[in-house]
Amino acid sequence: MICARTFKAIDILKQEEFYMSKVLSAKNAVARIEDGMTLGIGGWGPRRKPMALVRELLRSQCKDLTIVAYGGADVGMLCAAGKVKKLIFAFVSLDFIPLEPYFRQARQNGTLDVMEIDEGMMLLGLRAAAWKIPYIPTSLGLGTDVIKYNPTIKVIDSPYDDKAWVAMPALKLDVSILHVDRADARGVCQIKSPDIYMDDWFARAADTTIVSCDELVGSAFFSQNDEARSVFWERAQTSSVVPIAGGAHPTSCAPGYGFDVSHLKIYNASVKEGGFSAYFEKYIATKTEQEYQQAVGGLEAILKLPLPVY
């Protein structure tokens, strides 16, 4: 069944200049991700992850990816599906479930090549890539095992004093996938939550940025009521726009909806109850995104999920 939001999106596309439109289906957008690429995934743990795009990637044949993420179920699912060759991360957590089950399984089995770094170091790596410089010097990581277990990260001498600095290398991304509250067909993207995490740097660090959005709006939307104040990167950085209401589920997209605690508990339990293959077959394998949403209670239920309180 086509929801009212879909009809609204169709009307908006008719109003936009066709040559400017970056709107694609999830399948066509994700088709730009190829074997062996380095893929950045925006969001933070169980917050504003582009899960509809991740599900489309799970249905694809793509493999041997290097993933860069402040990870949650996105990372866990891709690891469980055997699509990850290397993981560059600061953490992988479901928040109220501290250890993401399938990421934990992959680490314990030794099936991943990993680069585990400090949260701030990863931000600097994305910034270096965005600024097109090879590294950014920082004191983050000095005197820790981050340097010991990441021999590719070098410690350098300062040309100005006698101090040593960590040279955090650029984390250049082939593709980034992000989820936002609203976007227009030109690629202007809006995030309304109090924290945009590092999505702006994921967008700028990538050659191609694919963005799913809860709502597709006309370009005039951003010229009213200070809405442009919630736009955090240039539309030129956005390569594709994929309208999918509820597309962050089961993660949150504040202020629109919270994360789905019940479903994440089902996902977490699946590691001991049939494994990821059973979860994949039930919720993802043969389903469209609309069918997936029906399987988890429907879009209306997703949009009513309460925001977490900390």
CA angle 230/67/287 to nearest 5° reads 80
Domain co-membership, 223 together with 280: yes
Is residue 1 a part of any domain in this protein?
no
pLDDT of residue 87 exceeding 80, the answer is: yes
Percent of the chain with pLDDT over 70: 94
**Could you tell me if 103 and 177 lie in one domain?**
yes
Select from 168, 91, 90 the least CA-distant residue to 135. Answer: 168
pTM for the full model? 0.92
The reply to whether 164 and 23 lie within a common domain is: no
In a domain, 307, yes or no: no
Q: Are residues 113 and 29 in the same domain?
A: yes
On whether both 27 and 120 belong to a single domain, the answer is yes
- Averaged over 49-54, what is the pLDDT? 98
Pairwise CA distance, residues 141 & 133, whole Å: 20
From 169, 196, 217, the end of a domain falls on: 169
pLDDT of residue 139 exceeding 60, the answer is yes
Q: Classify 284 as helix, strand or coil.
A: coil
Q: What CATH number did the domain enclosing 83 receive?
A: 3.40.1080.10
Higher pLDDT, 13 or 134: 134
Note whether 202 and 158 are same-domain residues.
no
Q: Report the C-alpha dihedral over residues 169, 172, 173, 179, rounded to 10 degrees.
A: 70
- Please check whether residue 246 lies inside any domain of the structure: yes
- pLDDT score at 216: 98
pLDDT at 198 over 80: yes
Asked whether residue 162 falls in the same domain as residue 93, the answer is no
Instruction: Give the torsion sign (CA, 208, 249, 264, 275).
Output: negative
256 is a domain residue: yes
pLDDT 10s digits, 122-133:
999 999 999 999
Do both 19 and 162 map to the same domain?
A: no
For the chain, the domain total comes to 2
Q: Residue 154 belongs to what domain range?
A: 134-169
Write out pLDDT tens, residues 237-263.
999 999 999 999 999 999 999 999 999
Evaluate if residue 183 carries a pLDDT over 80.
yes
- Does position 2 have pLDDT exceeding 90, yes or no? no
- Domain membership flag for residue 304: no
d(CA 303, CA 301): 5
Q: Residues 161, 289: one domain?
A: no
Whether 13 has a pLDDT exceeding 70, the answer reads: no
Final residue in a domain of this structure, among 169, 185, 219: 169
pLDDT band at 9 (very low <50, low <70, confident <90, very high): low
Choose one of 123, 145, 169: the last residue of a domain: 169
Q: What is the DSSP letter of 64?
A: S
* Whether residue 159 sits in one domain with residue 114: no
In the predicted model, what is the mean pLDDT of the chain?
94
Span 5-30, average pLDDT: 73
Confidence of residue 4 (pLDDT cuts 50, 70, 90): low
Residue 237 maps to a domain: yes
Residue 249 included in any domain: yes
For residues 179 and 43, is the Cβ–Cβ distance under 8 A?
A: yes
Q: Given the structure tokens 């919270």, which residue do they identify?
A: 258
| Statement to judge: residues 58 and 153 lie in one domain | no
Q: Are 273 and 287 members of one domain?
A: yes
